[in-house]
Amino acid sequence: MKPATQPSADWEIGSLSLSLEVVCSMAVNSLRQRIGRAVLTLLTICTATAFMMYLLTMPRSTDPVDIQSWRLMMILSLVVSGAGVLNTMLMSVTQRYREIGTMKCLGALDSFILYSVLLEAAILGLVGAFAGAIAGLIISILLALADHGGEVFRAMEIANLPGKLLFVFLVGMALTTLGALFPAFIASKMPPMDAMRGEK
Amino acid sequence: MTDFSEPDSTIRHSSLDTRHSADDTVEYTVMTRDVVKVYRMGDTEVRALDGVDVTIRTGEYISIMGPSGSGKTTLFNAIGGLMKPTSGNVFIDEIDVAQLDANELAWLRCRKIGYIFQSYNIVKVMTALENVTLPMLFGGVPPDEAQDRAVEILTRVGLGDRILHTPKELSGGQQQRVAIARAFANRPAIILADEPTANLDIHTGEEIIELMKEMNQERGVTVICSTHDHKMLDISDRIVWMRDGKVQKIANRADVDIEINTMKEKE
């Protein structure tokens, strides 16, 4: 209780900050609590990146028509995984409008909402893309094994394999984070009262 | 009913005039000046607030009453920095809320205002403890200290044995207690409670009202509470009646006591 008649020093408008550690632990906690959705998102990312990895390492013919369709599949895999991640992240944000509104009423900054949604997506992207890249490689090997038997590694496109793994992993991560960027931005800019009125 | 509005409006205006003078002994936490809020609905304009002047003293327990659509919630949101008025000023401890940018508003909501909602709004995926810790973390309190304080305040509201429960495992009244603990956690200047008992049965509602009054007195925090509940009047220091976006009258509890029976009969 301080006299309102004297605009005192402790009424200087302060800044809010939140340590990275706290944001991280909250993101992990939020994922753990909504494990069902997290697994679903993981599956989307994992499937998409596995498909990409398979395309990169599968035995290829030099027929121009085949190369054409291979490119098309590559583009398709990017579009499908991008749309899938965008959709799941949008859903997960709309489901949480009320929660986001409450947090804003408690003093969460726009940037906090933005970072926490992005961070959750990045964690999912990290795990999903990693698992997907490995899974894609294994599928590719198994399928090639069925077709080519002992000749498997000569038939497959395994030149620069670590580079391909890294590439697929990074693309998977980037797609997930980009897919989450738009929903995260929408969520962070929402006025607290609108967010509170949102669906539960 | 209009009998009370005259003397009170005089008090309001004199307080405006003297708020900078050194010998002013009464402290004010909230002051609104000619607040207008216009909503556009298609072609029609709705004046949700139509020139509201209220001055609320530090440590006071204020009830805002009025039928739905009278502008209660809009006033509440204007004071809480949840929406910007179309014109007019809202001062909290002499800071004009309308002048603040998004980050400063977040700071205001975090450090100066505690919200209690009709529908509790406990974060579902978090335990009671995490819910109460949240505003302190936003306010930069170190996690360990925030946790200690959260345990202390949850114990105070009577949930000491339920700190690790999630909202699913708590009754409505218990959830509202978590919300009260959360609202008081950052030691705010004011508590804004929007019909906190509307979703509760009579008995639980009374307990919640009592708890809010106790916390108000213990901690000297100004409480502003919008309500339909006549029981709220008994513990309020002053009551603000709203109608059609205007303050119809402001009365002290002592004055209302005389009237309360006739009012009950009317409804």
The CA distance from B110 to B115, in Å, is 10
Q: What is the pLDDT of residues A126-178, one digit of tens each?
A: 999 999 999 999 999 999 888 888 788 888 888 889 999 999 999 989 888 88
Inter-chain touch B107–A16, beta carbons under 8 Å? yes
Inter-chain touch B125–A98, beta carbons under 8 Å? no
Nearest CA in chain B to A33: B125
Inter-chain touch B125–A33, beta carbons under 8 Å? yes
pLDDT at A112 over 80: yes
Inter-chain touch B123–A34, beta carbons under 8 Å? no
Q: Which of A50-64, A180-194, B2-16, B152-166 has the highest mean pLDDT?
A: B152-166
The CA distance from B173 to A3, in Å, is 35
Q: How deeply is B92 buried, as exposed, middle or buried, from its count of CB atoms within 10 A (0-12, 13-18, 19+)?
A: buried
Closest CA–CA distance from residue B259 to any residue of chain A (Å): 32
Confidence of residue B149 (pLDDT cuts 50, 70, 90): very high
CB B177 within 8 A of CB B159: yes
Inter-chain touch A103–B106, beta carbons under 8 Å? no
pLDDT at B156 over 90: yes
Residues of A in contact with B181 (CB under 8 A): none
- Give B103-106 contacts, CB < 8 A, sequence gap 24+: B103/A15, B103/A16, B103/A109, B103/A110, B104/A13, B105/B81, B106/A16, B106/A104, B106/A107, B106/A108, B106/A109, B106/A110, B106/B138
Q: Give the CATH H-level superfamily of domain B2-266.
A: P-loop containing nucleotide triphosphate hydrolases (3.40.50.300)
Phi and psi at residue A14, to the nearest 5°:
-90, 180
Confidence of residue B162 (pLDDT cuts 50, 70, 90): very high
Nearest CA in chain B to A188: B102
One-letter amino acid of B47:
R
Residues of B in contact with A105 (CB under 8 A): 80, 82, 109, 115, 121
Please enumerate residues of A whose Cβ is less than 8 A from a Cβ of B. Answer: 1-5, 7, 11, 13-18, 22, 29-30, 33-34, 98-99, 101-110, 112, 191-193, 196
Q: Are strands B61-65 and B222-227 parallel, antiparallel or unpaired?
A: parallel
List the domain boundaries for chain A.
20-192
Inter-chain touch B220–A4, beta carbons under 8 Å? no
